[in-house]
Amino acid sequence: MIDVNFQLKGSAITVVVLAIIRYEPKSLVDELKEKIAQAPQFFVNSPVLINLDRLENPEALKKIGDLLTICRELDLQPLGFSGVPEVLLAPVNKTGLAVLPTPNERALKLPKQEVAPAVETVVERVVETVVETVIEERIVQRQSKVITRPVRSGQQIYAEGADLIVLTQVSEGAEVLADGHIHIYGTLRGRALAGVRGDETARIFCQQLDAELVSVAGNFVLQDSLPKELLKKPAQISLKGEKVVVEALVNN
155/144 Cα distance (integer angstroms): 19
CATH number where 90 lies = 3.30.70.260
Evaluate whether residue 6 is within a structural domain: no
Tens of pLDDT, residue by residue over 203-236, are 999 999 999 999 998 888 888 889 999 999 999 9
CB contact set of 106 (below 8 Å; sequence gap of 6+): none
Query: Is residue 92 domain-shared with residue 155, that is, in the same domain?
Result: no
The pLDDT value given to residue 79? 92
pLDDT for 13 equals 72
Domain assignment present for 35: yes
96 and 160 in one domain? no
As a whole number, mean pLDDT of residues 52-78 equals 91
**Whether residue 158 is found in the same domain as residue 87:** no
Q: List pLDDT tens digits, range 136-177.
A: 444 445 689 999 999 999 999 999 999 999 999 999 999 999
Tell me: do 221 and 154 sit in the same domain. yes
Structural domain boundaries enclosing 49: 16-100
Domain end: 43, 70, 100, which one? 100
Instruction: Give yes or no: residues 238 and 150 share one domain.
Output: yes
Instruction: Tell me the pTM.
Output: 0.59
DSSP 190: S
- Kindly report the average pLDDT of the chain as a whole number: 83
What CATH number is attached to the domain comprising 211?
Answer: 2.160.20.70
Flag whether 93 is in a domain: yes
Does 152 map to a domain? yes
| Strand, coil or helix: 34 | helix
Reduce the DSSP state of residue 171 to 3 states and report it. Answer: coil
Q: Are 181 and 163 in contact (CB under 8 A)?
A: yes
Domain tally for the chain?
Answer: 2
Residues whose CB falls within 8 Å of the CB of residue 52, separated by 6 or more in sequence, listed in order: 20, 58, 61, 81, 82, 83, 84, 85, 88
Question: With pLDDT > 90 as the criterion, what percentage of the chain qualifies?
Answer: 57
For residue 47, being part of any structural domain is answered with: yes
| Sequence-separated (6 or more) residues with CB below 8 Å from residue 157 | 145, 147, 151, 164, 166, 174, 175, 176, 177
CA distance readout (Å), 109 to 82, 101, 105, 112: 14, 10, 9, 9
Which residue, of 65, 100, 135, is where some domain finishes?
Answer: 100
Tell whether 80 is covered by a domain.
yes
Residue 250, pLDDT score: 79
What are 222-228's contacts with CB under 8 Å, separation 24+? 222/38, 222/39, 222/42, 223/38, 223/39, 224/38, 224/39, 225/38
Looking at 46, 67, 100, the residue that finishes a domain is 100
Report percent pLDDT > 70 for the chain.
80
Q: What is the CA radius of gyration of the chain?
A: 21
Residue 192 pLDDT level (bands cut at 50, 70, 90): very high
Residues 90 and 166 in one domain: no
Instruction: Give the Å distances, CA to CA, from 163 to 26, 195, 208, 239.
Output: 41, 9, 19, 16
pLDDT at 11: 64
Q: Categorize the per-residue pLDDT at 200 as very low, low, confident or very high, splitting at 50, 70 and 90.
A: very high
Start-to-end Cα distance in the chain: 59
Whether residue 241 sits in one domain with residue 159: yes
What are the tens digits of pLDDT across the range 73-111?
Answer: 999 999 999 999 999 999 999 999 999 886 555 544 545
Whether 133 is in a domain gets the answer no
Integer CA distances (angstroms), 218 to 62, 75, 124, 155, 172, in order = 27, 20, 35, 20, 20
Question: Based on the domain organization, do 157 and 226 belong to the same domain?
Answer: yes
User: Does 237 lie in the same domain as 151?
Assistant: yes
Shared-domain flag, residues 147 and 243:
yes
